[in-house]
Amino acid sequence: MKADFKGYHIHFTKCAGKSIRQVVRKYENLHTVLFLGEQPKLHRDIGGLTSEYYGDISKEDWKQTFKFAIVRNPFDRLVSAMKAWQGKGCRYGMRDIVGVAEKCAAIGWDKIKEIDIVEKTQVDAQGWWKREEALMTHLVPYTEFPLEDIEFFGRFEYLQDEWERICVILGINEDLPHNNRSKHLAYDYYFNGDLVSRVEKVYGRDLEKFGYKFN
């Protein structure tokens, strides 16, 4: 089955990526893309927690293909990451999550982006997801990736409306499943003034580019 127009879904973590991937994989000309460093690579699930890269993307194809991504308020994204790792049996609170993000920034996000998620999960999926290194890969700011060629950024806060717009552009008619959803209170419940300031320092460029702030 083919969509009317070829498309690349740029998968940013904690932004409905698994739900969108479930739709994308139905179509021959729609693909999910993960970045390994600065390099976009075609990506697919192969069962359970494991996945694989299955192709590189030429510069010409990258330029010509419609690319879309979902972004999310960094504060809300951190809450989602915290709840996801708590669900894996890790005792992370928000202070821990922010601390790991600060550690990543000190190490350098470029080094964090070079961690090969796919390689790690193929070796030891269950063990990998409980390592701090795995969490680090889920905290990379959007602005650490090459965003200039992405034509459409949808907002997680208006996910249903944004998804409908993406479907119109691609020429498909698909409901978006709700996978991997975590249950939590409004994000402001999990932050005090100190944590807000620390997040604003680490994710300042994301907040500015996409017009987000702590409400």
Per the structure, the count of domains in the chain is 1
Residue 1 is assigned to a structural domain of this protein: no
pLDDT in tens, 162-179: 999 999 999 999 999 886
Residue 134 banded pLDDT, cuts 50, 70, 90: confident
**In terms of residue numbers, what domain contains 158?**
7-210
The residues facing 32 across adjacent strands are 9, 43
Q: What is the pLDDT of residues 65-100, one digit of tens each?
A: 999 999 999 999 999 999 999 988 888 999 999 999
Q: How far apart are CA 185 and CA 76, in angstroms?
A: 10
Cα–Cα distance, 100 to 36 (Å, whole number) = 20
Q: Is residue 2 part of a domain?
A: no
Contact 72, 57 (CB under 8 A): no
Instruction: Decide if 143 is inside a domain.
Output: yes
Classify residue 27: in a domain, yes or no.
yes
pTM over 0.75: yes
What share of the chain has pLDDT > 70, as a percent? 92
Q: Confidence class of residue 36 from pLDDT cuts 50, 70 and 90?
A: confident
Confidence (pLDDT) at 90: 87
Computed over every residue of the chain, the mean pLDDT equals: 91
Is residue 203 a part of any domain in this protein? Answer: yes
Q: Are 150 and 174 in contact (CB under 8 A)?
A: no
- Are residues 3 and 29 in contact, defined by beta-carbon separation less than 8 angstroms? yes
In a domain, 215, yes or no: no
Q: How does pLDDT run across 114-130, given as a tens digit for each residue?
A: 887 767 666 566 677 77
22 falls within a domain: yes
